Amino acid sequence: MTVYRTRAGLRHRFRDVLNFYYPDCLDTTVGGYVAQLDERDGHVYDARTKHLVATARGVHNFSLGVLADGPHWCEHAAEHGLQFLATVHWDDARRGYDWHLDGRTPTDRTRYCYGHAFVLLAAARALQAGIAGARDELERAFGVLEERFWELDHGRYAARASPDWELAPYRGQNANMHACEALLAAYEATGADRFLERAYTVADRVTRDGTAATDGLLWEHYTESWEPDLSYNEDSPRHQFRPPGYQPGHHAEWAKLLALLAEHRPEDWLLERARTLFDAAVDLGWDDEHGGLYYTVADDGEPIVADKYGWVHAEAIGASALLSRVDRDADGRSADVLEWYDRLWEYAGTHLINPRYGNWYERVTREHDRDGPNHGPAVEPGYHPLTNCWLVTRALAADGVDALGTRADAG
């Protein structure tokens, strides 16, 4: 049995990621976090830029540390980030969260649903962790999402607006996926049905209605009327945030979210759709020659960008773990989805996890070479591996077992 099937193994990996970022990520001069740590050795390569998503993810990560009974400094670190999020990132005059700051000075006030969703997620986990001020921030972030981004006729959120709230025509599934994640966390933190109902609506519209024109696969980019824009960025296959093609990682991530939603809304379609999306992720995305999941593919599985990203594998790990709890035979044994869990961990451990520090690399090439330092303001400060390690350990605790693939009555 792989060590990562066990609570102890997952806890070890969880702490490794937290320890990589703390204490260097705490900015004690300007406030907030220094998220730009080199993934190879941890040195700070940009001490000034504050990115809304990186700040929110930092609050989320350290709040999970509190919830997981992690290091004692997690509570202070979460409080430190939430205070900066609520005061410096918040633009009180225009009632929204600023996207980029240079220190404490706004440099990009574009309003992104994606960023506001992560504020909601951060506040929800902070509320669960007992961090002061989290409830107010949760309500404020949700209010902005509802007032500025929600499109009632389409049951989904718009993607982007100007600083003064003029909506752009682009629509995207990614912002809605993370809004669904945040809404589920808000429901878990508050018990308020409005968050669960909104999460359910988004999930239904994105993963069922929104895939009718693409044979059940999740397209990323849409027109203002929510029609798939199949030619979007087709001349920019390596676009950092909006590449063309299907993303196996997002299929796995939605599979995970539907499995989580099914715990609160036990409807058959949720788990059925979760299984279908996970199968699509591995069937289309797995590289039979070199291993690992491609970043983007065509609808026949031909890779568009064959790089292997850390977040993709972390999300597939979380999805396979949650699905293994419900895909069991009469003897309680998990189906082959648990074999995927082991395979994904083996790949990540071999190619994507820094052997010295335990953090996850952003990406490697198809043949597992590292193509550069992966520097930039839009960093991923451990959010995906921390989230999925925590979700799996939480599921094991709920099942009363110490390892995936075992039964509670077996000890």
Query: 3-state secondary structure string, the chain?
Result: CCHHHEHHHHHHHHHHHHHHHCCCCECCCCCCECCEECCCCCCEEECCEEEHHHHHHHHHHHHHHHHCCCCCCHHHHHHHHHHHHHHCCEECCCCEECCEEECCEEEECCEEHHHHHHHHHHHHHHHHCCCCCHHHHHHHHHHHHHHHHEECCCCEECCEECCCCCECCCEEHHHHHHHHHHHHHHHHHHCCHHHHHHHHHHHHHHHCHHHHHHCCCCCCEECCCCCECCCCCCCCCCCCCCCCCECHHHHHHHHHHHHHHHHHCCCHHHHHHHHHHHHHHHHHHECCCCCCECCEECCCCCEEECCEEHHHHHHHHHHHHHHHCCCECCCCCECCHHHHHHHHHHHHHHHHECCCCCCECCEECCCCCCCCCCCCCCCCCCHHHHHHHHHHHHHHHHHCCCECCCCHHHC
Dihedral pair phi/psi, residue 386, rounded to 5° = -65, -45
Helix (H, G, I), strand (E, B) or coil at 363: strand
384 noted as active-site residue = yes
Q: Annotated catalytic residue: which of 178, 221, 313, 384?
A: 384
Dist. CA 30–CA 1, nearest whole Å = 46
Q: Annotated catalytic residue: which of 51, 100, 178, 250?
A: 250
In this structure, which amino acid lies at residue 240? Q
Q: Residues with catalytic annotation?
A: 250, 384
